């Protein structure tokens, strides 16, 4: 009886994790669409597709939260299982935010299409940062799927790279705006895009922190990288 | 229940002990019998224990290859010989089995496709190297993990959730391949085509093929068709517009002058459509190689002189057109018409993009390595560096409006590039904005004779 119960519980846990990762896959696809809208001329329906999928993502967040609440109420999980469930709520939150940012990027990209004042060449760095954010998000979700703590910690450095890119982009845009005030409105659009990308990097890092928390059983949200590494060494 | 046969050699020793005991009892009384009995059975036990000990030691040997069994006497000899035969058979069978498995793995690795074995719940059971590489899996870490957790694209998850009907016949599976092409996955940048077939008990086999090149080619084709349609549509819209106006306006209400003007404009547009179609045909002939190459040796100077004259006609006296030729005439081996059309394209561009009063200098030289170099130098508007790498792409234009206004099709340099490729030559472009451009077409030394 108990083995049967625990097996059923394992299946339910796996279903929740799979749902989180499926939601992650949708968010990744949204972000990929948004970034490709920045880098090349896309069909005009793209924005509609992104908006429609955004609704699906929101619905998935609600569904997963409900599943988490139900499993806590019915099975009273303990230890690692409880940590995983509590973390999942946080991860899902971050994913939903990434979806929001992707939608914002797609909207701005639609406005920047065919812009004469500020060409793609001039916001190439922003596009590159967008691709970087895509990679970081992808890696953080892979680390979540594998509960891979080393990969999770490696994501911290990758996020720093995005933050640095954001600083560079800001300075570049200021340069364009000073050179030619007619670029100001487009440059501001690009700046918002860059800010969204920077936020996505932060959300990916939050997911990485959640993984460390699940595996180590320790809240590392405000700890420095050195402290985490020390904790990891202690554990081993 | 079967009793051990009486003649079994195992009974020999105990029977001997009993017989000896009886003899001892008859000769020396009860004590003698007891001593013989005790010593006898101690001997029997020692005999069996030594053999058991040897056998036990043997069980510690490696399973991988055959280790000879210990020798034995009496019943132990029979048992150990039988065991030895079984062991030899087992090892032989195991070797064959291992070789088969190894061969299977080697075969799976040699396949040009990726293979993933999934269980009933779509968890990864096994994957060959290619599948691991293309789907960014690591079998060490990912065995037993749901595949959908690692390859997460929504359309892939839907594909994976598809119920495979296992009752359908093999032909049906063949005729309805369940195929999905996934766009380049982040980690690997590959476009992959997937197919799944039922496998084992409720599991499935996922076949992965790399279609990156097909996808890229398909994309190019789509873009090309879109560009051609667009290029043809623009002049067509103008023509249709004027035709409608001409049809709907009563002749009396339209001055003859306006009518003539409309016809002129329509003719210009029809002309640009015709040029586009001609260029497209030239390009496709160059690409497919359909046209027979009519290669021959011909003199360079007459060709260049006629090109200079053509350019002067085209320029209508607005530019100064100069020609520099080497002292001795050179012979070129190649298709004269193709090369002439390539050089004409370069000259037309020079005329088109050089303001009135500018200079256009053509020259034909043979460089130090014996290669022939055809150069067109103009004092025109020039091209910004960022456009140079893409200039020979079809329909790539630095300034759409200007190109079309001057009758360009957007295919000229693509034709030049293809002609030169057919002659193993190359095109070099050097340009400065507002200073002018230098286009030089180089033909390999093998095609030049002095």
| Per-residue three-class SS string for B311-355 | HHHHHCCCCEEEEECCCCCCEEEEEHHHHHHHHHHHHHHHHHCCC
Give the best residue of B143, B144, B154 to mutate against chain A (max A CB count within 10 A).
B154
Count CB-CB contacts under 10 A for residue B347.
Answer: 22
B326 and B433 share a domain?
A: yes
Nearest residue of B to residue A53 by CA position? B154
pLDDT in tens, chain B (450 residues): 455 555 577 788 888 899 999 999 998 888 999 999 999 999 999 999 999 999 999 988 888 888 888 888 888 888 899 999 999 999 999 999 999 999 988 888 888 889 999 988 889 999 998 899 888 888 888 999 999 999 888 888 888 887 665 555 555 555 455 677 777 666 677 888 888 888 878 888 888 988 888 887 888 888 888 888 888 888 899 899 999 988 888 888 888 888 899 899 899 889 888 888 888 888 888 877 655 567 888 888 889 999 999 898 888 888 888 898 888 888 998 888 888 889 998 998 888 888 888 899 999 998 888 899 999 999 988 888 878 888 888 777 777 666 666 667 788 888 898 888 888 898 999 888 888 899 999 999 888 887
Q: Kindly state the tokens that stand for B196.
A: 């799944």
pLDDT value, residue B400: 66
CA nearest to B223 within chain A: A41
Domain at B334, CATH number: 3.30.565.10
Whole-number pLDDT of residue A212: 87
Whole-Å CA distances, B204 to B126, B175, B207 = 11, 17, 10
CB contact under 8 A, B152 and A146: no
* Cβ–Cβ pairs < 8 A, chains A and B: 41
| Residues of B with Cβ-Cβ distance to A21 under 8 angstroms | 148-149, 152
- Contact between B159 and B178 under an 8 Å Cβ cutoff? The reply is yes
- Per-residue tokens: B259: 């009518």
SS3 A114: coil
Tokens of B16: 């001997």
Inter-chain contact B141–A135, Cβ cutoff 8 Å? no
Burial of B126 per CB tally in 10 Å (0-12, 13-18, 19+) = middle
Chain B's closest residue to A15, CA to CA, is: B146
Cβ atoms of residues A85 and A77 within 8 Å: yes
Last residue of a domain, one of B102, B133, B149: B102
Domain boundary residue, one of B245, B267, B288: B288
Taking CA–CA distances from B137, the nearest residue in chain A reads: A142
Instruction: Please check whether residue B2 lies inside any domain of the structure.
Output: no
For residues B146 and B237, state if they share a domain: no
Q: Which pLDDT tens digit goes with each residue over A80-101?
A: 788 888 889 899 999 999 999 9
Neighbour-count burial for B51-81, b at 16+ CB within 10 Å, e otherwise: beeebeebeeeeeeebeebbebeebbeeebe
pLDDT exceeds 70 at position A67: yes
Residue to substitute from A29, A91, A122, interface B, most B β-carbons within 10 A: A29
Q: Would you give the DSSP letter of residue B71?
A: P
Contacts of B146 in chain A (CB under 8 A): 14, 18
Domain count, chain A: 1
CB contact under 8 A, A25 and B154: yes
Same domain, B88 and B231: no
Q: What is the DSSP letter of B251?
A: G
**Separation in Å, CA of A188 to nearest CA in chain B:** 24
Minimal C-alpha gap between B408 and chain A (Å)? 22
Say which residue the tokens 């609600």 belong to.
A62
- The two tokens of residue B255 are 């001055």
The closest CB to that of B152, out of A134, A135, A141, belongs to: A141
> Does one domain contain both B220 and B205?
no
The answer to whether the beta carbons of residues B440 and B427 sit under 8 Å apart is yes
How far, in Å, are B67, B165, B266 from residue B48 at the CA level?
Answer: 21, 61, 115
* Phi and psi torsions of B126, nearest 5°: -160, 150
Task: Report CB contact under 8 Å: B386, A121.
Answer: yes
Q: Is residue B1 part of a domain?
A: no
Does residue B382 sit in helix, strand or coil?
Answer: coil
Helix (H) or strand (E) holding B52: helix B12-59
The contact set of B with A (CB < 8 A) is: 136, 141-142, 145-146, 148-150, 152-154, 156-157, 186-187, 386
Sheet of B426-432, strands arranged across: B320-324, B359-366, B372-378, B436-443, B426-432
pLDDT at A9 over 80: yes
Q: Which contiguous run of DSSP H or E holds residue A151? A: helix A149-179
- Tell me how far apart the alpha carbons of residues A111 and A106 are, in angstroms, rounded to a whole number: 9
Instruction: For helices B336-352 and B412-422, give the axis angle rounded to 10 degrees.
Output: 150
Contact B152 A25 (CB under 8 A): yes
Determine contact: A62 vs chain B, CB below 8 A: no
Nearest chain B Cα distance for residue A178, angstroms: 23
Query: Residue B422 sits in which domain range?
Result: 295-449
DSSP B123: B
B263 and B171 in one domain? Answer: no
Clarify whether residues B364 and B431 are in a common domain.
Answer: yes
A2-39 helix and A46-75 helix, angle to the nearest 10 degrees? 160
B226 & B243 share domain: yes
How many domains is chain B partitioned into structurally? 4
Residue B344 near residue B306 (C-beta atoms within 8 A): no
- Which residue from B minimizes the CA distance to A21? B149
Q: Is residue B318 part of a domain?
A: yes
Q: Select from A18, A32, A135 the Cβ nearest to the Cβ of B149.
A: A18
For the ranges A5-9, A112-116, B433-437, the one whose mean pLDDT is highest: B433-437
In the beta sheet, which residues pair with residue B398?
none
> Which residues in chain B are contacts of A29 at CB distance < 8 A?
153-154
Mutating which of A12, A21, A27, A141 best tests the B interface, going by the most B Cβ atoms within 10 A?
Answer: A21
CA distance A18 to chain B (A): 6
Whether B4 is in a domain gets the answer no
Distance CA B374, CA B214 (A): 37
Closest residue in A to B152 (Cα) is A25
Could you tell me the residue range of the domain that residue A27 belongs to? 2-235
Block residue for tokens 């929504």: B154
CA distances from B297 to B324, B336, B367, B371 (A): 21, 9, 19, 15
Question: Cβ of A21 and B152 within 8 Å?
Answer: yes
- Asked if B386 lies within 8 A of A134 by C-beta distance, the reply is no
Final residue belonging to a domain, choices B183, B210, B237: B210
Partner residue opposite B152 with nearest CB, options A14, A24, A146? A24
- A24 CB neighbours in chain B (<8 A) are 152
Res B7: pLDDT: 58
Which chain B residues are Cβ-neighbours of A134 within 8 angstroms?
A: 186
Residues in chain A within 8 Å Cβ distance of B136? 142
Do B249 and B138 have their domain in common? Answer: no
Structure tokens at B192: 């992959």
Helix (H, G, I), strand (E, B) or coil at B47: helix
The domain that contains B248 carries what CATH number? 1.10.287.130
Question: Does A15 lie at the interface with B, CB-CB under 8 angstroms?
Answer: no
* Element holding A47 (H helix, E strand): helix A46-75
Distances (CA, A) of B117 to B105, B156, B166, B198: 13, 16, 16, 10
Min Cα separation B399/chain A (Å): 12
Instruction: Identify the three-state secondary structure at position B373.
Output: strand
Q: Do B186 and A135 touch (CB under 8 A)?
A: yes
Same domain? For B329 and B281 the reply is no
pLDDT of residue A57: 94
Measure in Å the smallest separation between the Cα of B154 and chain A Cα atoms: 6
Residues 6+ apart with CB under 8 A from A228: A153, A212, A220
Are B396 and B305 members of one domain?
yes
What is the rounded CA–CA span in Å between residue A86 and residue B150? 22
Q: Which residues of A touch B145 (CB under 8 A)?
A: 145-146
Chain B partners within 8 Å of A12 (Cβ)? none
Say yes or no for a CB contact (<8 Å) between A21 and B156.
Answer: no
**Same-domain pairing of B338 and B431:** yes
Report DSSP letters for A88-101, one per residue.
Answer: HHHHHHHHHHHHHH
pLDDT, tens digit, for every residue of A168-227?
999 999 998 998 888 898 899 999 999 999 999 999 999 999 988 888 876 666 677 777
Chain A nearest-CA residue for B386: A121
Subunit contact A18:B148, Cβ cutoff 8 A: yes
Q: How many residues in chain A?
A: 236
Q: Identify the CA nearest to A198 among candidates A226, A172, A218, A168.
A: A168
Report the alpha-carbon distance of residue A97 to residue B159 in Å, rounded.
Answer: 27
CB contact under 8 Å between A28 and B153, yes or no, is yes
B61 and B142, same domain (yes or no): no
Q: Are A105 and A34 in contact (CB under 8 A)?
A: yes
């Amino acid at each position: 009886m108990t083995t049967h119960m625990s097996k059923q519980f394992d299946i339910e846990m796996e279903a929740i994790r799979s749902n989180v990762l499926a939601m992650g896959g949708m968010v990744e696809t949204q972000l990929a669409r948004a970034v490709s809208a920045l880098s090349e001329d896309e069909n005009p329906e793209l924005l509609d597709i992104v908006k429609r999928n955004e609704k699906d993502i929101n619905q998935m967040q609600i569904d997963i939260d409900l599943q988490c609440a139900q499993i806590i109420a019915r099975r009273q999980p303990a230890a690692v299982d409880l940590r995983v469930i509590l973390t999942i709520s946080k991860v899902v939150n971050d994913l939903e935010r990434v979806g929001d940012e992707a939608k914002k990027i797609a909207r701005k990209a639609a406005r920047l299409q065919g812009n004469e004042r500020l060409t793609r060449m001039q916001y190439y760095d922003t596009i590159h940062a967008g691709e970087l954010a895509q990679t970081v998000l992808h890696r953080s979700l892979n680390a979540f799927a594998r509960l891979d703590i080393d990969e999770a910690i490696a994501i911290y450095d990758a996020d720093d790279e995005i933050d640095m890119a954001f600083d560079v982009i800001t300075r570049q845009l200021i340069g364009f705006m000073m050179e030619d005030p007619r670029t100001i409105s487009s440059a501001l659009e690009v700046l918002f895009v860059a800010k969204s990308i920077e936020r996505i990097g932060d959300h990916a890092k939050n997911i990485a922190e959640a993984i460390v928390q699940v595996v180590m059983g320790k809240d590392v949200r405000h700890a420095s990288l050195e402290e985490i590494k020390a904790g990891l060494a202690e554990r081993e | 229940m079967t009793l051990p046969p009486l003649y079994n050699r195992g009974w020999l020793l105990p029977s001997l002990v009993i017989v000896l005991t009886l003899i001892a009892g008859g000769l020396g009384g009860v004590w003698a019998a007891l001593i013989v009995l005790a010593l006898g059975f101690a001997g029997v036990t020692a005999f069996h224990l030594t053999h058991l000990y040897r056998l036990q030691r043997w069980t510690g040997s490696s399973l991988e290859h055959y280790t000879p069994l210990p020798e034995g006497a009496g019943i132990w000899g029979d048992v150990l010989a039988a065991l030895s035969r079984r062991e030899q058979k087992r090892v032989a069978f195991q070797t064959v089995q291992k070789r088969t498995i190894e061969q299977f793995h080697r075969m799976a690795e040699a396949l040009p496709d990726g293979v993933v074995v999934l269980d009933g719940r779509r968890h990864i059971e096994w994957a060959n190297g290619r599948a691991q590489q293309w789907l960014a899996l690591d079998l060490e870490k990912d065995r037993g993990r749901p595949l959908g957790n690692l390859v997460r694209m929504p359309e892939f998850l839907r594909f994976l959730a598809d119920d495979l009907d296992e009752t359908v016949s093999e032909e049906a599976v063949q005729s309805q391949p369940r195929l999905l092409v996934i766009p380049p996955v982040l980690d690997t940048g590959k476009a992959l085509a997937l197919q799944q077939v039922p496998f084992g008990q409720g599991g499935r086999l996922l076949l992965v093929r790399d279609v990156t090149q097909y996808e890229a080619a398909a994309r190019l084709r789509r873009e090309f068709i879109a560009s051609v349609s667009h290029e043809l549509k623009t002049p067509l819209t103008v023509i249709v517009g004027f035709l409608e106006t001409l049809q709907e306006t009563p002749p009396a209400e339209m001055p003859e002058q306006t009518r003539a003007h409309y016809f002129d404009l329509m003719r210009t547009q029809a002309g640009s459509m015709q040029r586009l179609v001609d260029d497209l045909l030239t390009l496709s002939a160059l690409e497919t190689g359909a046209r027979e190459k009519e290669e021959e040796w011909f003199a360079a100077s007459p060709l260049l002189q006629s090109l200079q004259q053509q350019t002067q006609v085209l320029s209508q006296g607005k530019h100064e057109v100069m020609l520099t030729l080497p002292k001795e005439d050179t012979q070129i081996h190649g298709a004269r018409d193709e090369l002439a059309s390539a050089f004409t394209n370069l000259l037309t561009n020079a005329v088109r993009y050089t303001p009135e009063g500018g200079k256009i200098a053509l020259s034909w030289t043979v460089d130090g390595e014996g290669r022939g170099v055809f150069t067109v130098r103009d004092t025109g508007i020039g091209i910004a560096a960022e456009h140079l790498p893409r200039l020979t792409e079809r329909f790539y234009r630095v300034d759409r409006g200007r190109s079309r206004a001057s009758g360009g099709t957007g295919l000229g340099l693509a034709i030049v590039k293809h002609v030169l490729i057919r002659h193993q030559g190359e095109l070099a472009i050097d340009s400065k904005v507002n200073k002018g451009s230098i286009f030089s077409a180089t033909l390999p030394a093998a095609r030049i004779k002095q």
